[in-house]
């Protein structure tokens, strides 16, 4: 079978056109694909840059956060150290409070505590010559402290008392009945201490007509004066004055002022004699100053006279210096038998 060449050429030309169209399509698609690839690469680069920037920001924030965390941790450590030190101090304070409670629970130790506090207050307010601790009376009784004052009023005894058990019962009472019972015990203890001090430490002819009961607790003192007026009135009747650390310090300051006044009165005669001697010395000094002034006046008079004589001598010297000797040279000199005439100004001198 014969094939027409034109048909073959037409078929080849059509295939070539199709091939060319396919090539053009492929090139176009490849170009578009290249553009897409480039856009994808640019987008990827942009995303990479954004991610890098974000990562840098995150790194900076994490670094700042770590630094703040370090400072916070250091601050927390410092505060923990302070808390630990405070806890140690609280532990020491708790042990001291427990020790103080142990001291106050024992009557003898509690009495020593009151005596030590009394001694500290007295030493801080008065000179050593104004007090004596553990003073023994002629009866053999011994007071915690004796304030030495002149008559009147005379020496005043101070004794420390601490009715702590009954006060604790009063503060720890759960109901009215227990509170009334504890109040009676507290009042009874205070009245007993007042009577004991009035009997032992107010001695006619040896002490003043009063004494001091020292309560080493402001709380006990306030409770007594606030709720137990009968006990306070009993102390007034017996002339036993109840004092706390604060009121005792005020009393001791008053005593110090009294001692200063007494000392001034004792020295008044000596001061008067010294003033009289001082006035006599002043009079003698005035007389001697007057005599010295007279000497100065005589010396001034002599100096004036000397100055007058010096002025006269100076005047005469000037007159001598002003003599004209040339006139003498012009006159014929004296002969052998003739005496020269004295110059003018010297004649008749």
Domain count, the chain: 2
* pLDDT value of position 212: 92
Residues linked to residue 318 through DSSP beta bridges, in sequence order: none
Same domain assignment for residues 108 and 239:
yes
Q: Which tokens in the block code for residue 254?
A: 């008053």
Q: What is the CA radius of gyration of the chain?
A: 61
Residue 183's contacts (CB-CB under 8 Å, 6 or more residues apart) are 170, 227, 228
Residue finishing a domain among 243, 266, 289:
266
Same domain assignment for residues 259 and 126:
yes
Same domain assignment for residues 141 and 238:
yes
24 inside domain: no
Q: Are the C-beta atoms of residues 244 and 116 closer than 8 Å to each other? A: no
Separation of alpha carbons 185 and 181, rounded Å: 6
**Helix pair 245-266, 218-227: axis angle to 10 deg:** 100
Range of the domain at 123: 101-266
* pLDDT value of position 337: 53
Same domain assignment for residues 247 and 271:
no
Same domain assignment for residues 193 and 129:
yes
* pLDDT value of position 234: 92
Same domain assignment for residues 130 and 240:
yes
The low-confidence residues of the chain, meaning pLDDT below 50, are 96-105, 344-349
Same domain assignment for residues 123 and 144:
yes
* pLDDT value of position 239: 93
Same domain assignment for residues 143 and 282:
no
Q: Are the C-beta atoms of residues 219 and 89 closer than 8 Å to each other? A: no
Span 132-147, pLDDT tens digits: 998 888 888 888 899 9
Same domain assignment for residues 237 and 283:
no
* pLDDT value of position 161: 86
DSSP letter, residue 1: -
* pLDDT value of position 73: 74
Same domain assignment for residues 226 and 182:
yes
């Amino acid at each position: 079978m014969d094939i027409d060449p034109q048909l073959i050429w037409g078929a080849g030309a059509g295939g070539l056109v199709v091939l060319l169209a396919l090539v053009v399509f492929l090139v176009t698609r490849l170009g578009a694909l290249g553009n897409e690839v480039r856009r994808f690469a640019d987008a990827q680069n942009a995303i990479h840059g954004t991610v890098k920037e974000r990562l840098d920001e995150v790194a900076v924030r994490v670094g700042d956060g770590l630094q703040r965390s370090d400072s916070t941790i250091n601050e927390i450590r410092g505060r923990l150290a302070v808390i630990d030190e405070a806890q140690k101090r609280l532990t020491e304070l708790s042990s001291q409070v427990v020790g103080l409670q142990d001291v106050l629970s024992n009557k003898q130790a509690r009495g020593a505590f009151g005596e030590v506090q009394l001694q500290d207050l007295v030493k801080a307010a008065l000179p050593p010559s104004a007090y004596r601790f553990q003073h023994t009376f002629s009866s053999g009784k011994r007071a915690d402290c004796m304030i030495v004052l002149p008559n009147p009023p005379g020496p005043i005894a101070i004794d420390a008392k601490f009715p702590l058990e009954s006060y604790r019962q009063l503060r720890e009472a759960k109901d009215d009945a227990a509170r009334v019972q504890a109040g009676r015990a507290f009042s009874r203890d205070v009245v007993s201490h007042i009577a004991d001090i009035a009997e032992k430490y107010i001695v006619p002819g040896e002490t003043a007509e009063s004494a001091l009961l020292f309560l080493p607790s402001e709380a006990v003192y306030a409770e007594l004066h606030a709720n137990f007026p009968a006990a306070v009135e009993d102390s007034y009747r017996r002339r036993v004055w109840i004092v706390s650390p604060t009121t005792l310090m005020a009393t001791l300051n008053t005593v110090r002022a009294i001692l200063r006044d007494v000392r001034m009165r004792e020295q008044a005669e000596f001061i008067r004699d010294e003033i009289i001697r001082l006035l006599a010395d002043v009079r003698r000094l005035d007389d001697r100053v007057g005599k010295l002034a007279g000497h100065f006046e005589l010396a001034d008079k002599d100096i004036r006279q000397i100055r007058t004589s010096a002025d006269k001598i100076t005047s005469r010297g000037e007159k001598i210096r002003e003599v004209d000797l040339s006139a003498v040279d012009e006159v014929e000199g004296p002969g052998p038998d003739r005496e020269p005439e004295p110059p003018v100004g010297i004649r008749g001198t």
